[in-house]
Structure 1
Amino acid sequence: MTKAKRQARYIWLASGSVAMGLGIWAMHFIAMLAFHLSVPVTYDVAMVVISILPALAASAIALFIISRKGIGLKQNLHGALFMAIGIVSMHYTGMEAMMMAAEIQYDPVLWTLSAVVAFAASLAALYLLQYVSNHPDRPGIGWIKAGSAVGMGFAVSGMHYTGMAAATFHSHSDHIHPSTSAFNSTFLAYSIAIGMLILFAIVFLSMFIDRRFEHQFIKSERKFRSVIESANDAIVLSDKEGKIISWNRGAERIFGYREAEVLGEDLLLMITDRFKDSHQKAEIGKTAELEGLHKEGRVFPIELSLASWSEEGEVYFSSIIRDITERKQNEQKINEMVYRDSLTGLPNRLLFNDRLLTALHQAENSKQPVGVMFIDLDRFKNINDTLGHDAGDELLIEVAKRIKAAVGKTDTVSRQGGDEFILLLPDAASGELTKKAQRLLEVFSESVLIKNLELVITPSIGIAVYPADGRDLETLIKNADTAMYRVKEQGKNSFQFYDPSMNESVSKKMQIEIGLRKALERNEFKVVYQPQVEVHSGRLIGTEALLRWTNPGCGTVSPAEFIPIAEETGLILPIGEWVLHQACLQNKAWQNAGHPPMRVAVNISSRQFRQSNLVEKVRETLLRTELEPHYLELELTESIIQDSQHAIEKMHQLREMGIHLSIDDFGTGYSSLSYLKTFPINTLKIDQAFTRNIYTDPKDASLVDTIINMAHNLGLKVIAEGVETLEQLEFLQKKECHEAQGYYFSRPVSPEDLEIYLEQQAVEAVM
């Protein structure tokens, strides 16, 4: 009865009352039938039936009282009193059912004693029964149950025989003959005995079946509880009022409260005040991100999933809660990699471009000017070369702080790379731009203390204004860059607004463009190869094809100078096709010469990638050179992945051919990480800007470590560029980077020199 709920509880109460009441009555009545007098005795059926009612009522009341939770001595006394009244009433009503030629007289003392015996024995029995209910799993509880049963039996039988002893029977001459409503005593005794045995059999069978179901339920509940307790997440059950009814170990670990501390408490105790409304509005079956409140007052991010169920007309809720602190930290770290410069923490080019595009869109509607400032530090390379890269990095961090402090809160300061910074100044008229540029010059006039040396760094500032100097992102940045180079050419610490007459740099670009158009015809290009080695074994496993250009008039032209122009003019298409063909042809030649097969990596520019027939051109090149596709690797630049919708289908086509795909200069902040789960890439290339400083800059070391771990988790290979020292190599070996390339192994060399390199490796392998 204490475990059953609602309707089931009342069914057990009725069953227990009938079993107990009829048991008491049967003991009494059969004992009376066993009592023999000198005169014939029969029984009035109506009175016999009436005598049953007090026993049933008393049993029901006593069991109802004793089965309630939290009862004390007062409730026990009430239950015993009702039990005693029922027993006494049943006994003396049954005595009145006797039909005989005698009169019954009672001894007051023994009559009172019979009532006291019934009360005392009932109180003891009910107390033991309550103890059994409160301690069902205590060792030896069966003996206490037996004691309760014996006490109850003594209450009934003791009262009965004390009551019978109180009765005196006086015969008289009036003989009452049995009527049609009287029973023969022997028949009645056997009928009652058999009926009660059947009743008890039914009750005990019901209890046995219920116990079996209860046992199965307990087993299922224990299994369910073990699953809940083994979960790392917090699993909290609550009622419709939001009161906690279950609290697993995961919840203890996440929130710091023990189960005993929170049972019955409001579920909102673990939610911060500003998210309590959000929690109450959480939708069933959906996941919500909130803020959790630890017992010690610490606030941390959580993810909550809410479900509900109904049981016996009551609604309950289950909350599965996960501490997402680590996930949020990783997201923030990755977000910083994507949108922030790793050294200064400023927005990188990707974030700056996004903000500039937004500002241009708003300016188009509001007709307000937008300013772009391009800042380059004068003679920064001298400081870097003289004091070292760590001093240069320290200087860049200080410069970033000063620039940020000199502009407004709505302005964006971005580091583009190296010593170049670019500013976005929305809603800025030319007068306002002049004031900010002068403010920047003043800020830079203050010396900077680096390695106990007082340094004075000066900036060259170029300014372009929307819409006069350009209506799109690229034009504005290019013109601001052009204005900045004009300041540098003039050799003075100043700023300059863009003017269309600034064409000297344009002229130089035109010369390069003209030279590029003739370079292929004049055979001025050559392809050099830089070995790629396995980090742990040092074994050569691939090579990267790099383009070099020697112009008869200008001499050697840096790829950083002519590649952007080739990209801009479209000349990158024939040049890139030529490089791809040369690299595949050379790789096949090395294989034909008997050298072990390896992959050759070729850079593919964004303009090449946008060709509609790129896949066909690559397939055609492989067929002409007879190189198998899996010996070719295409390195994709950051600008390719900006148009993921366009790129993904083409990348899948290349991958299906067997060609390896890699992302070049990963981690520089130009690229979005969303392609990592979408694009079919094989390898990430860590930019040399990070590799160079892994032993001097903890941030670069942490960033390289993060990229390698992320690649491992995504099943991607990692190759580090710019490895120049043994210490850098040992760091990469420790972090389980797969491949590396750099001056530590070899500079980019001619095909003939690389063949010598291959032969040397073959000899070393034999030795």
Structure 2
Amino acid sequence: MNHLTSTYHIPLVILSVIIAILASYTVLHLSVRLIKAKPPARYIWLTAGAFAMGLGIWAMHFIAMLAFQMAMPVSYDFGMVFVSIIPAIVSAALAFYMISRPDMGNRQIYLGSLFIATGIVSMHYTGMKAMIMAADIVYDPILWTLSAIIAFVASVAALYLLKYVSQNAEKPGINWFKLVSSIVMGFAISGMHYTGMAAAKFMPHEGHQHIMTQNIDSTYLAYGIALGVLLLFGILFISMFVDRKFEYQAISSELKFRSVIESANDAIILANRDAEIISWNLGAERMFGYKKDEAIGEKLQLIIPDPCRNNINSFLFENISDLAGSTTELTGLRKNGEELPIELSLAAWGENGQVFFSGIIRDITERKKTESKINRLVYRDPLTGLPNRLLLNDRLKLAISQAEESKKNIGILFIDLDRFKNINDSLGHATGDLLLVEVGKRIKAAIGESDTLSRQGGDEFIILLPQTDANELTKKAQKIIDLFSQSIMIREYELFVTPSIGVAMYPVDGKDIETLIKNADTAMYRVKEQGKNSFQFYAPSMNATVSRKMLLEIGMRKALERDEFKVFYQPQVDVKDGKLIGVEALMRWMHPEWGSISPAEFIPIAEETGLILTLGEWVLEQACVQNKAWQNNGYQPFKVGVNISSRQFQHSNLVEMVKNVLAKTGLAPEYLELELTESIIQSSEDAVVKMQQLRDMGIHLSIDDFGTGYSSLSYLKTFPINTLKIDQTFTRNIYTDPKDASLVDTIINMAHNLDLKVIAEGVETEEQLRFLEEKQCNEAQGYFFSRPIPAEELEIVLAVGV
């Protein structure tokens, strides 16, 4: 029996090939998205790709069948037609699954191609079975086999092309490669179909009644299917375009994010749940010393375990919910074993069913150094490094709080160094500073670890002893005194200093910081008054003396304004003829309530508080004004002597101040004599310079209280002085103590040999005066001639003569 002849509707044939090419091009694009996507997006693209490729192959097949025309009517069993779609989709899904596997090799490609080719062949010949016609189909075995081979070869080529395109998506010219590959794949798929159709022979049979189940124009149906498939491809292309746009945005954001991470000075580290590092930036390399390839995938010990925890990583991960969003200070560990302080910020997130951690680690070495420096500046004495007043107050506040709970005592030792001022002034501040440092070390070594030694300033130290008693305080105080029985070597000097220690206890001697320290200070001053180099417990009776000193200090500050200070003058006479040759200006304080206050009581307070600078300048000006007034009133000119205190002499503007006073009052310099003590000039580094400047102005200079200080014969020839004043303690005893008489005689002879004048203080009897006259003393002053008197009374003396 002859088979039926057939023809093809060429436009539909061309359309089927175009559909195959478009399907191939779509599939190649989808393969790129599939490789780049991560679950669950990968599964979505795999499903979309399987449907696109399967429907594309099926559409090409069905349109080609609709293009096939025979001499008899042909209809289709659409149930069978739709069944034929399943093998196409399954084979396409298999193809996408194969390329999504990272381990796809040649063996997998050929095995997968076999299954894909089987699916395509099954789809084709299942579709052929859907043809309803009055004829039987007989296949040419050779062409049938050839169609299967074409399907296999096309599958192999498709998988290789899909693999290549997915792995080289970013290479230049890949789009042209995809276009050419799509054409090759399209023709290969079409070739398989048309080869299979060529293998079919349609044998009509007689007596078979053909039943038309469908009556649809095949051309319109073909175009409709083509349109539907093209719409599907269009949707897929739009989806891929949108996805790619988002991908580019994500890549751009990731690149920006990565650049920020890499440029950060902080270490930014990502790790999985098992603490394996998955991201390591340059900041981490610099901070910890591990290169990226040394860190990725490893569990590095970057943090020193807390002594309370065996595994720091377990601690961090177990407490991530508490630590996330906060910062924790820990100790880091570099590759070389070096430790560093770090600040760690942790975060956690989930992705694809896994938990990941990110950590931002900051090296806070410099911050710790700065904090330490600030701590030293704020809480430490810059010279000795000991706690300062602020830190002592903090620790004392804590100690008081603990003592309240434990019902224990607290001890305060207030230490002041005896004779430190002399050392500091005579040897210089640099030596004094070194001495203070050494003293701090010596005391520090003598106290317990729980005790606090603080420097309050100058040569004052305070020791805080928590949880102690009177017996323990006594032992500590005596131990400190014993420490200073040995000398301290500073540079080439062997120095001796002794401590005066005041002791106060909480709560007996005060229940607050201020009271405790004040009372310990008060007890220390009592030690000073009683001879120094000892210790004294505070007693309430001591406050009476302190209160008196405070009242005097307050009173002095107001006394100048209220004209309570007066200048008295004591005559100085020539021993030979008894004529008045000068006066000494002496300050007196006439308080409206307390009466006359002795200079021996208020002058030391003025020295201590610095008020002596104001008072001293006032006395100098008053004395110069008065002396000039006497001269203006016609009295014979004479010198007025004014005492210069230690604080005044050390002040930098002394010479300028004296010069201004003389200029202001109009008194000639030769009628002013400045009286200096031995200790003043010996403790000043620039004493000679100052004295020479004063002497050059024409001012007379005298050494007051000569013989009572640390006298040195060398300074008598060095310092530009005019007069020596013999202290009254020697003068009063010249008839009762032969040694004092010898000393006075020696001083007079020595002064005359040095071409210096001598004036004796404290002359009270005629016998004393005769002794001085016999020894050829130049001048004398004392009660024998006159007590210190106001200027008004002295004018009477001037008028009648002494």
Normalising by the smaller structure, the TM-score range is 0.5 to 0.7
CA separation in 2, counterparts of 1:373 and 1:754?
A: 51
Residues 661-688 of structure 1, C-alpha deviations (whole Å, 9 max, x = no match)? xxxxxxxxxxxxxxxxxxxxxxxxxxxx
2:248 aligned with 1:208: no
Structure-1 residue corresponding to 2:386: 346
SS at structure 2 position matched to 1:336: helix
Q: Distance in 1 between matches of 2:344 and 2:45?
A: 40
- How many angstroms apart in 2 are the aligned matches of 1:747 and 1:78? 111
Gap change, CA 1:427 and 1:33, over 3 Å in 2: closer
Q: Does 1:397 align with 2:444?
A: no
Instruction: Give the secondary structure class of the aligned counterpart of 2:96.
Output: helix
Structure 1 unaligned blocks of 5 or more: 526-549, 566-574, 576-723, 725-741, 756-767
CA contact (8 A) 1:282 1:306 kept: no
The residue identity in structure 1 corresponding to 2:53 is M
Q: 1:513 to 1:438 in 2, by over 3 A?
A: same
What is aligned with 2:169? 136
Q: CA RMSD in A?
A: 4.5
From the superposition, tell whether residues 477 and 106 of structure 1 become closer, same or farther in structure 2 (CA, over 3 Å).
Answer: same
Distance in 2 (CA, whole Å) between partners of 1:743 and 1:194 is 107
Contact 1:444/1:458 (8 A) holds in 2: yes
Contact kept in structure 2, 1:66 and 1:79, CA below 8 Å: no
In structure 2, what is the Cα distance between the partners aligned to 1:475 and 1:407? Answer: 23
Q: Does 1:439 align with 2:479?
A: yes
3-state DSSP of counterpart to 1:397: helix
Q: 2:367 corresponds to which residue?
A: 327
Q: CA distance change for structure 1 residues 440 and 750 in 2, over 3 Å: closer, same or farther? A: same
Determine the structure 1 residue equivalent to 2:561: 520
| CA drift at 1:282 | 5.6
1:246 to partner: Cα distance: 5.6
* Contact 1:374/1:421 (8 A) holds in 2: yes
SS at match of 1:427: strand
1:425 aligns with 2:458: no
1:288 alignment partner, one of 327, 333, 342:
327
Q: Partner residue of 1:145?
A: 178
Classify 1:120/1:447 alpha carbon distance in 2 versus 1 (closer, same or farther; 3 Å): farther
Cα drift, residue 416 of structure 1: 1.0
CA distance in 2 between counterparts of 1:444 and 1:140 reads 93
Distance 1:316 1:60 in 2: 32
Q: Percent same amino acid at aligned positions?
A: 56
Aligned: 1:273 with 2:305: yes
Q: Does the aligned pair in 2 maintain the 1:411–1:426 contact within 8 Å? A: yes
Distance 1:746 1:289 in 2: 63
Contact 1:39–1:102 (CA under 8 A) maintained in structure 2: no
**Distance verdict in 2 for CA 1:37–1:417, change over 3 Å:** same
CA distance in 2, matches of 1:39, 1:278: 80
d(CA) in 1 for partners of 2:280, 2:166: 25
- Higher-Rg structure is 2
Helix, strand or coil at the partner of 2:502? strand
Q: Match for 1:199 among 199, 216, 232?
A: 232
Instruction: State the match for 1:380 in structure 2.
Output: 420
Q: Report the equivalent of 2:99.
A: 66
Output aligned runs, 1:307-706, within 5 Å: 320-491=360-531, 493-499=533-539, 508-509=549-550, 511-516=552-557, 518-522=559-563, 553=599, 561-562=608-609
For the residue of structure 2 that corresponds to 1:408, the secondary structure is: coil
1:13 maps to 46
Size of the aligned set, in residue pairs, is 556
Query: How far does residue 81 in structure 1 lie from its aligned partner after superposition?
Result: 3.4
- Distance in 1 (CA, whole Å) between partners of 2:431 and 2:107 is 85
d(CA) in 2 for partners of 1:327, 1:522: 58
Contact 2:87-2:123 at 8 Å conserved across structures: yes
**Partner secondary structure for residue 479 of structure 2:** helix
Q: 1:83 and 1:350, CA in 2 relative to 1: closer, same or farther beyond 3 A?
A: same
Give the deviation of 1:438 after TM superposition. Answer: 3.3
Stretch deviating more after TM superposition (333-342 or 378-387): 378-387
- Equivalent residue of 1:421, what SS? strand
The alpha carbon displacement at 1:184 in A equals 6.0
* Deviation for aligned residue 1:16: 1.9
Q: TM-score, normalised by structure 2?
A: 0.59
Work out the CA distance in 1 between the residues paired with 2:214 and 2:292: 65
- Secondary structure of residue in 1 paired with 2:384: coil
- 2:320, 2:348 within 8 Å by CA — same for their partners in 1? no
Instruction: Tell me the distance in 2 between the aligned counterparts of 1:86 and 1:114.
Output: 13
Return the alpha-carbon distance in structure 2 between the equivalents of residues 319 and 304 of structure 1.
Answer: 7
Distance 1:40 1:261 in 2: 75
Distance in 1 between residues matched to 2:659 and 2:170, nearest whole Å: 85
CA distance in 2, matches of 1:311, 1:114: 46
The 1-side partners of 2:252 and 2:414 are apart by: 72
What is the CA-CA distance between 1:434 and the residue it aligns to?
Answer: 2.5
Question: Normalising to structure 1: TM-score of the pair?
Answer: 0.61
SS at match of 1:54: helix
| Cα distance between partner residues in 2 of 1:12 and 1:753 | 106
| Equivalent residues of 2:134, 2:205 under 8 A apart | no
- Amino acid in structure 2 at the alignment position of 1:105: Y
**Does the CA contact (< 8 Å) of 1:289 and 1:301 recur in 2?**
no
Q: Structure 1 residue 325: deviation in Å?
A: 3.2
Question: Structure 1 stretch 31-40 or stretch 362-371: which is displaced more?
Answer: 31-40
Query: 1-side partners of 2:653 and 2:113: how far apart?
Result: 96
> Greater CA deviation, 499-508 or 404-413?
499-508
Cα distance, 1:322 vs. partner? 4.0
Amino acid at match of 2:516: L
Q: CA deviation at 1:405?
A: 1.9
SS state at 1:293 partner: strand
CA distance in 2, matches of 1:331, 1:307: 27
Among 22, 27, 32, which residue is 2:55 paired with?
Answer: 22
Matched with 1:105 is: 139
Check conservation: 1:283, 1:306, Cα contact below 8 A: no
Question: 2:328–2:345: 8 Å Cα contact kept in structure 1?
Answer: no
Residue 520 of structure 1 aligns to which amino acid in structure 2? E
The one-character-per-residue Cα deviations of 1:699-741 (angstroms, maximum 9, x if unpaired) are xxxxxxxxxxxxxxxxxxxxxxxxx9xxxxxxxxxxxxxxxxx
Letter in 2 for 1:521: R
1:468, distance to aligned residue in structure 2 (A): 4.0
